[in-house]
Amino acid sequence: MACADNSDKDTSSLDIPNELDSNSDLFVDAVDSFNTTTTCIGNAAYIRWNPLQAVKQRTFGQYKTHPSTICTETASSHNMVRRLKLQYKLNGVHEGCVNAINFSPCGTLLASGSDDLNIVVWKWMERRPFLTFDTKHTFNVFQARFMPESDSSVIVSAARDGQVRAHIIGSSGELANSRRVASHKDSAHKLAVDRSLPHTFLSCGEDGLIQEIDLRTAAPNKLLYVRRDDVEKMTKIPLYTIQMNPSRPHEFAAAGKNKYAYIFDKRMTSDNSEFSYVKKFCPDNLVNDKDTVFPDSITCLAYSYDGKELLCSYNDDDIYLFDSSHSSGSNFIKRYEGHRNSQTVKGVNFYGPHSEFIVSGSDCGHVFIWDKNSEKIVQCMEGDETGVVNCLEQHPSAPVLATSGLDSDVKIFMPCSLRPTSLSKLDHIVSSNKKARDTEREEDEENSGTVNDFYRIYYRRISRMIQRRAAGEDGENGDDNTSNNSDSEDSDTDMDQHTVPLRCDPQ
């Protein structure tokens, strides 16, 4: 499992089209497009970086900064983002929707976890699985992550059964060991790892518990339970997401079925204190929201590359960016609109070497990419044939994006398109998402009122999703994809009110 650092890796082995002959019209079109100084998308004008001029300056020693910055400027340019396209799929192994994806620290391997309870380690550049193994989880796998500084031989996972497990890959490429290292009393959704901590990581679950797990010790350290401090004081908050600050590993953020994102300091956590968070953030427009049928919840959060910004995706709402250095209670600094996060629970992430872009999936099956500063959509791609994109993972060193959702595959996007993606249908997609959100909110408000109403509305949403999926599939594939985990059993009765049989829980 040797895995050398590929920060300077030659990416020529990637599948990049070679259709650009210097005498062809396509080459002329591509060069003209790259040389254009500005471009307009919607009502915004973007300054476009000129790579040909940059290469010339580097060649003749005229580059203003270090020559290596040309790689950073290339990967973070709008040209590269607008040329992202589906290059290929990693398929034929998983038999359920893929809930988790993660690149190895060196970027040569990719791990995916699925409803089929398996983790597949892919040699993604070769489009083939390297290893497939049973996780020993008993319900849907929600998270699979490589541990840093482990030579890509240690993978940790979390699942709906509440277990957190560590899997050791032997030197010959087989699964050498799999053991439970921690457990939650309810679903465990996310794990937080940091590149400076090769043995330690954090877990969170719907029981509201955050645990620090050291693979060298026999038992985890229960840091704290996250509790409400508003109306229902001291009530535990079901947690969906957690991440460490990449610049300060002692600091981490967590969120879940609550409107606030909480920042904690491991040096000052104690479940004995009334409130142990350092800061909390919530958009001002949601602070006074009194919706009790579908209360605000954060499905995913992410730190920027330097830890100075915190990104939060809200269920049935927009994506908000906060300055993590601001005082507790500060309002958001940016807001990203156009996608839809309702049917399943979406992930969100930064994209670019210096977190220049925001990327998220959507119920409409598209991958949205926003410019972080302008809040404008700069890319919108079809990302899932079944209809929902949940997970998005950026390659650690190359301009490559991996996504997954209700389909049983992993999709690899690269900036290989000969021309920028057309955004002619963007306005229609955005308006359709907004209309669907507004319509569903109106219906929910009309039918809300009791606990039974809550579950009736909830399962009506799931039923809509299944009907849309079935309409877009042939009979054989439809049977295969809807038979797992009792998705089609959407009865309003005979359901345990504490158990919701979703295929794809929060990511």
- pLDDT tens-digit map of 37-82: 434 444 333 545 677 777 777 777 766 666 567 778 888 888 889 9
Q: Is the pLDDT of residue 34 over 80?
A: no
Q: Is the pLDDT of residue 267 over 80?
A: yes
β-strand 239-244 against 221-225: which pairing, if any? unpaired
The dihedral sign for the CA sequence 421, 426, 432, 434: positive
pLDDT the model gives residue 100: 96
pLDDT of residue 468 exceeding 70, the answer is no
Amino acid 63: pLDDT: 63
User: What is the rounded distance in angstroms from the CA atom of residue 63 to the CA atom of residue 43?
Assistant: 32
Whether residue 291 has pLDDT greater than 90: no
> Side chain identity at 257, as an amino acid letter?
K
Question: Contact, 127 vs 90, CB < 8 A?
Answer: yes
Bridge partners (DSSP) of residue 357 are 351, 371
pLDDT for the residue 449: 53
Across 109-113, 264-268, 502-506, which has the greatest mean pLDDT? 109-113
**Percent of the chain predicted with pLDDT > 90:** 57
- Please report, as a single letter, which amino acid is at residue 126: E
Q: Tell me how far apart the alpha carbons of residues 402 and 324 are, in angstroms, rounded to a whole number.
A: 27
Residue 26: its pLDDT value, please?
37
Q: pLDDT: is 352 or 16 the higher one?
A: 352
Residue 132 has pLDDT above 80, yes or no: yes
Task: Report phi then psi at 165, rounded to 5.
Answer: -125, 150
User: Each residue of 169-197: pLDDT tens digit?
Assistant: 998 899 999 999 999 999 999 999 999 99
In CATH, which of 2.40.50.100, 3.40.50.1820, 2.130.10.10, 1.20.1260.10 is domain 86-427? 2.130.10.10
Comparison of pLDDT for 85 and 442, the residue scoring more: 85
The one-letter amino acid code at 442 reads: E
Average pLDDT along the chain: 80
Name which residue leads in pLDDT, 137 or 4.
137
Q: Give the model confidence (pLDDT) of 321-336 as tens digits.
A: 999 999 888 999 999 9
Considering only 129-133, 255-259, 499-503, which range has the smallest mean pLDDT?
499-503
Higher pLDDT, 102 or 449: 102
| Overall size of the chain counted in residues | 507
Give the Cβ contact number of residue 321 at 10 Å: 24
Angle, alpha carbons 18-361-116 (nearest 5°): 90
Give the start-to-end residue ranges of the domains of the chain. Answer: 16-75, 86-427
- Phi, psi of 493, rounded to the nearest 5 degrees: -125, 175
pLDDT band for position 430 (cuts 50, 70, 90): very high
Supply 234's token pair.
Answer: 């001291």
* Whether the Cβ atoms of residue 350 and residue 394 lie closer than 8 Å to each other: yes
Position 229 scores a pLDDT of 79
